[in-house]
């Protein structure tokens, strides 16, 4: 059975989008495949993001920032649904090759690094509520992925 592919996009793919990828894969891997990417990817996933995921009992193995352009390569998974998570993810023109059937904009604030781990824990809680609601509402279902362009 083919499952929809969701691509979470943020500016640096070092905090918000890897947390969304990890959570969605943990709770719905049998129904959805999640990936994440950044417009200008950082060098590594932020340590506070890794700590927040680990504290919630979520896997962190394999999480690493990826450039959005990687999803233009022939062997890359083709996203059915793209979720922009931060305003910076929408800052430039959408690449021509990135034309998923469905686009969502959740536009969460970047975590305040000065607030440390607590900011990332709050962000993860917000993401889990948002993702749980999207799963319950069918936003990541095969039917939603096959919807006409927005």
Is the pLDDT score of 41 beyond 70?
A: yes
Instruction: Give 114-127 pLDDT, tens digit per residue.
Output: 777 888 999 999 99
Percentage of the chain exceeding pLDDT 90: 53
Confidence (pLDDT) at 60: 94
Fold of 5-145: Rossmann fold (3.40.50)
Cα angle, residue 31 at apex, residues 52 and 119 outer, rounded to 5°: 15
Instruction: Give 88-139 pLDDT, tens digit per residue.
Output: 665 555 565 566 667 788 888 777 777 778 889 999 999 999 999 999 999 9
Using CB atoms within 10 Å of the CB of residue 139, give its burial: 0 to 12 exposed, 13 to 18 middle, 19+ buried.
buried
Q: Is 56 helix (H, G, I), strand (E, B) or coil?
A: coil
Confidence (pLDDT) at 96: 57
> Whole-prediction pTM value?
0.88
């Amino acid at each position: 059975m083919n499952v929809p592919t969701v691509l979470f996009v943020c500016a640096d793919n070092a905090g918000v989008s890897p947390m969304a990828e990890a959570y969605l894969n943990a709770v719905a891997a049998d129904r959805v495949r999640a990936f994440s990417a950044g417009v200008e990817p950082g060098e590594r996933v932020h340590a506070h993001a890794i700590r927040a995921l680990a504290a919630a009992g979520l896997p962190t193995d394999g999480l690493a920032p990826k450039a959005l352009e990687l999803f233009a390569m022939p062997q890359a998974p083709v996203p059915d649904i793209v979720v922009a998570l931060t305003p910076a993810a929408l800052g430039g023109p959408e690449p021509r090759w990135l034309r998923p059937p469905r686009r969502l904009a959740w536009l969460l604030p970047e975590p305040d690094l000065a607030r440390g781990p607590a900011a990332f824990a709050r962000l993860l809680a917000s993401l889990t509520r948002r993702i749980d609601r999207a799963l319950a509402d069918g936003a990541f279902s095969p039917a939603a992925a096959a919807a006409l362009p927005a």
